[in-house]
């Protein structure tokens, strides 16, 4: 979605779902309580878990 953002080229465990702009970061390890995501700058993001 952001081909000019080279900082995210090495990130292989998060992705954008289709053309929706929905950022997906699956949790794949048992017992994990939190994960971190890389957010591209200059974009509006919403945390749907807090609604």
SS (H, E, C) the chain: CCCCCHHHCCCCCCEEECCCCEEECCCCCCCCCCCCCCCCCCCCCCCHHHC
**pLDDT recorded at residue 6:** 66
Q: How far is CA 26 from CA 5, 12, 42, in A?
A: 21, 11, 24
- CB of 3 within 8 A of CB of 9? no
Q: Which residues, listed in sequence order, are joined to residue 17 by a DSSP beta bridge? A: 22
pLDDT digits (tens, 9 = 90+) for 11-51: 878 887 877 778 888 888 999 988 888 877 766 777 777 65
Cut 0.95: pTM above it: no
* Overall domain count for the chain: 1
Domain with 36 in it: 1-51
- CB of 10 within 8 A of CB of 38? no
């Amino acid at each position: 979605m952001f081909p000019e953002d080279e900082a995210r080229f090495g990130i292989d465990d998060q992705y954008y779902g289709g053309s929706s702009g929905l950022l997906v970061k699956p949790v794949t390890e048992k017992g994990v309580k939190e994960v971190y995501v890389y957010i591209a700058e200059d974009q509006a993001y919403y945390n749907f878990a807090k609604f």
